Amino acid sequence: MNETTSSPAYGLWALVLIHSAIFIVFAFSFTRPKTSRDWRSLGAFSAFVVALFTEMYGFPLTIYLLSGWLTERFPQADILSHESGHLWRTLFGWEGDPHSDPLHLLSNLLILAGFVLLASAWNVLHPAQREGRLAQAGPYAHVRHPQYVAFVLVMFAFLLQWPTLPTLVMFPVLVAVYTRLARREEKEALAELGAEYREYMERVPAFLPRWPAPSPAGGATGG
We report the CATH number of the domain holding residue 50 as 1.20.120
136 located within any domain: yes
223 located within any domain: no
Mean pLDDT, all residues of the chain: 86
- Number of domains comprising the chain: 1
218 located within any domain: no
Amino acid 77: pLDDT? 77
Q: Which residue range is the domain that position 82 belongs to? A: 13-203
104 located within any domain: yes
CA distances from 17 to 62, 66, 99, 107, 154 (A): 19, 25, 21, 21, 19
Give CB contacts under 8 A, 24+ apart, made by 72-79: 78/7
Look at residue 164 and give its three-state secondary structure.
coil
217 located within any domain: no
What predicted TM-score, i.e. pTM, was given to this entire model?
A: 0.84
78 versus 46: the higher-pLDDT residue is 46
pLDDT at 214 over 80: no
222 located within any domain: no
3 located within any domain: no
pLDDT tens digit sequence for 67-120: 888 888 888 778 778 887 888 888 888 888 888 889 999 999 999 999 999 999
pLDDT tens digit sequence for 154-172: 999 999 999 999 999 999 9
Average pLDDT on 37-48 reads 91
72 located within any domain: yes
Residue 13 exposure: Cα atoms within 13 Å on the Cβ side = 0
The model's confidence at residue 18, banded by pLDDT at 50, 70 and 90, is very high
CA distances from 53 to 23, 149, 181 (A): 10, 21, 25
- Contact at 8 Å (CB) between 223 and 181? yes
By percentage, how much of the chain surpasses pLDDT 90?
A: 53
